Chains A and B, each alone.
Chain A
């Protein structure tokens, strides 16, 4: 049982919880994630470690309430406990001195990208950040991100803040203007990462995407998370979640993410019937 010691509502439907877990906070590295289960009958879901403080023994998770489990999680309060928490999982991000790095993050992916951007900055890289969301209310952690970026751009679909348009519009503009870029990291919805990858492929800039397939154990035991990387099947939970974006079969990832769409609707619906 893991206690919740802090809770924040970051933006519309995006919340953060700080959990006391000395074991995980001590081992956690940027790019890694945890798997948690809220209740006895609950599902195991993966969430990125958005920050870790080994001195206090805490980790932070940031999540968007999209379905049954994330909504259940959102209902918990300070002092409540999370039934099962395991981690840190996945291979850590490659944090090196690359030169100039662009971090392209969308939606809740912004929170997931934060520890990576922070580590890259600390390593001495020039960090350029492009953040995107549907509208102003869905944007998170811009303050923290600004703090670790040399340059920061914001785009929203409706133009409620920053540039009106998609992250890829901003990215394309920077690259077309001839910005010298050594590496690109993209985290967010699979469809966004696919679009980013398509652009950077044209500009031949090495790009890393943090993939988010459906997972169960997240220890390499079930194969639910398998992704195609350059024609080879990999398990995102142990071999990733970060992969060379130009080798990722995004269409397969997208179709595999839709596998349980109908079931999830039933589950979420039933859950609301019970709770309301």
Chain B
């Protein structure tokens, strides 16, 4: 038996005495009127207390459950010791987007679910601590990194592209990101609304990327403005594709092209990227109905519903064909959405969108569903209850049932193998079928989260680095003169 000193016993006891620190949110009545962040995060005192609660487990399960393996106890210890600068530096060894992941990672299913204290229902709020470390970090230029003379092109500036760029830059590669839009950030910019992920946060993350020497070329669509072949001709040694799954899925039901029916992508892009909520100061308009139905049960549906509410809708309803338990949205966001007054109509499937003679939506015909046998995803498959059709009055419908990959790149790159839905096929190293081209994030099959996109990108960068080193060695062998020079 191991004897514990009184000192360490006291330490452990005191850890159990500190209460779990609650992350507070802004009052509902106030927050539904604006686009400022809902979650207030932890303040300094809270963060230090929470950090002190961490048991600093010798075999921390939290680390293995973080897809990018952040050294969680170490950075938490830095916060406990009030070395905030060290905390963010520790995190940045693995994660250049702590400002983002601390806010939008499904922590309750990942690091926090694995925390030993989760057994007692008081897991460390790791995400909130990560966010705290990022928020208090000072935004400053860092020393220029030494180039290794190799060039990599990164397509897309979402979490996958940014992570690949950061990791490659740290390894010494000269990185240029090509982004189709006029702003970088991918879904972080055009999808996730400011009340969950403030624009300043993305700006700060983006400055960090630029400090590392990464160049960003906006308004360039790979596959249109430049092809992959052009990129190789421009002298890039490798290409990383992180172009996301940006193409909206529709229901393919009658009435879907009526006015007042939006894809979540369009609605959120108008609001977030084009700032339609500041119309007419910003020129892009958006229509918002009084009675809104949002179809879907993921984060995208929640974000659309809450955005509509903030833009003046009286009555917003989530229409979802399974039950609440199956909803893929983050638990915290489901709660926030409900608190804000969005109604949930579960086990209902839309059949038809009704319109008036001005071709504007007026109603949604649905059918009741019940849960049958589990499907391939393990979730119980919803089946229609015959004859249970009903209609609700709505003047706006937002379709948020998922995205699929945009085919622009694959259509112009025959070498790039894609599956039948258009996802780029990669091996476990992130390699595509096209030599010297890697891909990760939402453009490859798999779960669609920020952290998975980042983890895939990190994996690909490791292999890019290995590949480049091998190629160099081969060149040395094949070219003795060069070898001699070395």
Contact (A267, B283) CB under 8 Å given A87-B224, A223-B263, A252-B359: yes
Nearest-neighbour CB distance to chain A for B375, whole angstroms, equals 26
User: Do residues B408 and A219 form an inter-chain contact, with CB atoms below 8 A?
Assistant: yes
User: Do residues B259 and A256 form an inter-chain contact, with CB atoms below 8 A?
Assistant: yes
User: Do residues A267 and B279 form an inter-chain contact, with CB atoms below 8 A?
Assistant: yes
User: Do residues B282 and A41 form an inter-chain contact, with CB atoms below 8 A?
Assistant: yes
Residues on B with beta carbons closer than 8 Å to the beta carbon of A222? 248, 263, 265-266, 269
User: Do residues A228 and B248 form an inter-chain contact, with CB atoms below 8 A?
Assistant: no
Nearest-neighbour CB distance to chain B for A249, whole angstroms, equals 8
If over half of A's interface residues share one DSSP class (helix, strand or loop), that class is named, otherwise mixed; here it is mixed
Instruction: List the one stretch of A6-14, A170-178, A240-248, A258-266 in contact with chain B.
Output: A258-266
State in angstroms the CA–CA spacing of A29 and B235 once bound together: 25
* CB under 8 Å from chain B, chain A span 226-276: 226-228, 233, 238, 251-252, 255-256, 258-260, 263-264, 266-267, 270-271
Residue A84 lies at the interface, judged by CB distance under 8 Å to chain B: yes
State in angstroms the CA–CA spacing of A271 and B283 once bound together: 9
Contact with A along B207-237 (1 / 0, CB 8 A): 0000000000011110011100000000000
Residues on A with beta carbons closer than 8 Å to the beta carbon of B246? 219-221
User: Do residues A84 and B218 form an inter-chain contact, with CB atoms below 8 A?
Assistant: yes
Contact with B along A58-77 (1 / 0, CB 8 A): 00000000001100000000
- The size class of the interface chain A forms with chain B is 35 or more
Residues on A with beta carbons closer than 8 Å to the beta carbon of B256? 233
Contact (A86, B220) CB under 8 Å given A24-B225, A216-B274, A221-B265: yes
User: Do residues A220 and B247 form an inter-chain contact, with CB atoms below 8 A?
Assistant: yes
State in angstroms the CA–CA spacing of A89 and B247 once bound together: 16
Q: Which of A44, A86, A220, A266 contacts B280 (CB 8 A)?
A: A266
State in angstroms the CA–CA spacing of A96 and B321 once bound together: 49
Contact with A along B64-88 (1 / 0, CB 8 A): 0000000000000000000000000
CB-nearest residue of chain B to A1 = B219
Nearest-neighbour CB distance to chain A for B397, whole angstroms, equals 13
State in angstroms the CA–CA spacing of A84 and B218 once bound together: 9
Q: Which of A23, A217, A238, A271 contacts B220 (CB 8 A)?
A: A23
If over half of B's interface residues share one DSSP class (helix, strand or loop), that class is named, otherwise mixed; here it is loop
User: Do residues B226 and A233 form an inter-chain contact, with CB atoms below 8 A?
Assistant: no
Residues on A with beta carbons closer than 8 Å to the beta carbon of B282? 41-42
Residue B406 lies at the interface, judged by CB distance under 8 Å to chain A: yes
Residues on B with beta carbons closer than 8 Å to the beta carbon of A119? none
* CB under 8 Å from chain A, chain B span 36-71: none
State in angstroms the CA–CA spacing of A70 and B250 once bound together: 31
User: Do residues A86 and B219 form an inter-chain contact, with CB atoms below 8 A?
Assistant: yes
Residue A37 lies at the interface, judged by CB distance under 8 Å to chain B: yes
* CB under 8 Å from chain A, chain B span 267-320: 269-270, 274-275, 278-285, 287
Q: Which of B248, B283, B408 contacts A43 (CB 8 A)?
A: B283
Residue A27 lies at the interface, judged by CB distance under 8 Å to chain B: yes
User: Do residues A259 and B252 form an inter-chain contact, with CB atoms below 8 A?
Assistant: no
Nearest-neighbour CB distance to chain B for A49, whole angstroms, equals 12
Nearest-neighbour CB distance to chain B for A30, whole angstroms, equals 15
User: Do residues A216 and B181 form an inter-chain contact, with CB atoms below 8 A?
Assistant: no
Residues on B with beta carbons closer than 8 Å to the beta carbon of A266? 279-280, 285
Residue B325 lies at the interface, judged by CB distance under 8 Å to chain A: no
Q: Which of B221, B259, B283 contacts A219 (CB 8 A)?
A: B221
State in angstroms the CA–CA spacing of A187 and B317 once bound together: 41
Q: Which of A44, A221, A271 contacts B406 (CB 8 A)?
A: A221
User: Do residues A41 and B283 form an inter-chain contact, with CB atoms below 8 A?
Assistant: yes
Residue A5 lies at the interface, judged by CB distance under 8 Å to chain B: no
Q: How many residues of B contact A (CB 8 A)?
A: 40
Residues on B with beta carbons closer than 8 Å to the beta carbon of A252? 257, 359
User: Do residues A223 and B266 form an inter-chain contact, with CB atoms below 8 A?
Assistant: yes
Contact (A27, B224) CB under 8 Å given A216-B270, A263-B279: yes
Contact (A89, B224) CB under 8 Å given A220-B406, A255-B359: yes
Among A23, A84, A89, A223: residue with most chain B CB under 10 A: A223
User: Do residues A228 and B225 form an inter-chain contact, with CB atoms below 8 A?
Assistant: no
Contact (A217, B269) CB under 8 Å given A42-B283, A222-B248: yes
Nearest-neighbour CB distance to chain A for B406, whole angstroms, equals 5
State in angstroms the CA–CA spacing of A224 and B406 once bound together: 15
Q: Which of B263, B280, B408 contacts A270 (CB 8 A)?
A: B280
State in angstroms the CA–CA spacing of A233 and B182 once bound together: 27
User: Do residues A86 and B407 form an inter-chain contact, with CB atoms below 8 A?
Assistant: no
User: Do residues B406 and A219 form an inter-chain contact, with CB atoms below 8 A?
Assistant: yes
Residues on A with beta carbons closer than 8 Å to the beta carbon of B220? 23, 86
Residues on B with beta carbons closer than 8 Å to the beta carbon of A251? 359
* CB under 8 Å from chain A, chain B span 238-269: 246-248, 250, 252, 256-257, 259, 262-263, 265-266, 269
State in angstroms the CA–CA spacing of A270 and B274 once bound together: 18
Residue B180 lies at the interface, judged by CB distance under 8 Å to chain A: yes
Nearest-neighbour CB distance to chain A for B337, whole angstroms, equals 23
Q: A84-B218, A220-B408, A221-B406 are in contact. List 10 more A-B contacts (CB 8 A).
A: A27-B224, A41-B275, A86-B219, A87-B225, A220-B246, A220-B406, A222-B265, A252-B257, A255-B259, A260-B287
29 contacts between A and B (CB under 8 A): A23-B220, A23-B225, A27-B224, A37-B182, A41-B283, A43-B283, A43-B284, A44-B274, A44-B284, A69-B283, A83-B182, A85-B219, A86-B219, A86-B225, A216-B270, A216-B284, A219-B246, A219-B406, A220-B246, A221-B265, A224-B266, A233-B256, A233-B257, A255-B259, A256-B257, A258-B259, A259-B287, A260-B285, A267-B280
